[in-house]
Amino acid sequence: MKHPTILDVANEAGVSKSLVSLVMRGSDRVSPSSRKAVLEAAEKLGYRPNAAARTMVRQRSYVIGVMVSNLHNPFFADVIDGIDTAVTDTGYRAILTTGNRLPERERLAVATLLEMRVDGLILASPVFGREVAIEASQTVPTVLVGKAIRAPAVDSVTNDDRRGGEMVVNHLVELGHRRIAHIDGGSGAGARPRRTGYTHAMRRHGLESEIRSVRGNFTEEGGAAGMRSLLTESTRPTAVFVANDLAAIGVLEVLDAEGLDVPGDLSVVGYDNTALAANRRLGLTTVDQPRHDMGRMAAGLILEKIGQDRTTARHVVLPPKLVARESTGPPSDGERS
């Protein structure tokens, strides 16, 4: 038999399907003898409940869907850990889909989850447009992680990306840098405010004329390409703020390959404080985001929203923290302008 049902178990145990259902759901109004008979029959037949059927009748799946932008970025591994932590022992389970940073694939990944009738949706740094999140939020509690949008029902958990961008510039200016470039994160989550933070801080330090921002994305290759393009220009910056750690690793690769010294010739700063950045060999100065907590809180918001019927959106903004390591230092004398 391919998949025994509750009816097969009932037959085997000589009871009604309803009683089997009660036993499976752990009811206490079942006699010990019936319970034993049912459990033995279920074991013998290899019964496994059918979630699709349960979802239909209960109008609840007890599943939280998580769409992850890019599994290559260790940032998300931490976020997912946090989600798992929060979800464990609540009766809910988390499942993941991924869209590989491609808007179309991400949309499909979300559609898959919605068709499965997940009870909550966590969108981890999607690159697709706001409308997808907004539409989803009309039928299911939805939380964005790493990105926020203004919409009546879309919660978010972010760090203060703009403030983080400012902190990076402040740090570099304190070290004596003036020619500070930025390789941005393109359409990636949080990329915009980080860039805004960068430009604002530059202006505040009277460095408006030094603002130099090139397009990148949240991948190693994106960072590398951005750096290569910066290197073709006539004047080289003395420091570069890269939109995230992964891209910053790509920048380091390029600089190493070109024989440029970090931080001697050029200081490099990333964003996220992933395990990568902490590695001694990389020693990347970066901005810490509390990744695990962000996952925990996102799941918490979902569970809370499933419980009560809260209608207003909640936006959790966590403080960023600069972590100085070996990839930043004062500009070399020849470079000082």
Partner DNA sequence: ATGTCCAATTGGAACGTTCCAACATCGTTC
Partner DNA sequence: GAACGATGTTGGAACGTTCCAATTGGACAT
Interface residues with DNA (CB under 7 A)?
3, 5-7, 15-19, 21-22, 24-25, 29-31, 33-34, 47, 49-50, 53-54, 56-59
Sort strands 286-288 and 321-323 into parallel, antiparallel or unpaired. antiparallel
Long-range contacts of residues 44-52, Cβ cutoff 8 Å, at least 24 apart: 44/12, 45/1, 45/4, 45/8, 45/9, 45/12, 46/4, 47/4, 47/5, 47/6, 47/8, 47/9, 48/3, 49/24, 50/3, 50/5
The one segment of 32-40, 47-55, 146-154, 160-168 that binds its own copies by CB under 8 A: 47-55
**Is position 228 an interface residue for its own copies (rule: CB under 8 A)?**
no
**Is position 75 an interface residue for its own copies (rule: CB under 8 A)?**
no
User: Binding marks (x or -) toward its own copies, 115..154, rule CB under 8 A?
Assistant: xxx-----------------x--xx---------------
Give the SS3 label for residue 158.
strand
The one segment of 30-38, 68-76, 123-131, 314-322 that binds its own copies by CB under 8 A: 68-76
Residue 76 touches which member of its own copies, DNA, none, C-beta under 5-8 Å by kind: its own copies
**Is position 56 an interface residue for its own copies (rule: CB under 8 A)?**
yes
**Nearest-CA neighbor of 180 among 236, 246, 219?**
236
* Contact indicator for 132, 100 with CB cutoff of 8 Å: no
In angstroms, what is the minimal distance from the CB of 117 to DNA? 9
Angle, CA 20 vertex, CA 15 and CA 25 arms, to 5°:
155
CA distance 76 to 73: 6
Q: Is the dihedral of CA 175, 192, 78, 320 positive or negative?
A: positive
In angstroms, what is the minimal distance from the CB of 217 to its own copies? 16
DSSP state, residue 168: H
Residue 18 touches which member of its own copies, DNA, none, C-beta under 5-8 Å by kind: DNA
Q: Which residues bind its own copies (CB under 8 A)?
A: 2-3, 46, 48-53, 55-56, 61, 63, 71-72, 74, 76-78, 80-81, 84, 93-98, 100, 105, 108, 111-112, 114-117, 135, 138-139, 220, 249, 252-253, 256-257, 275-276, 279-282
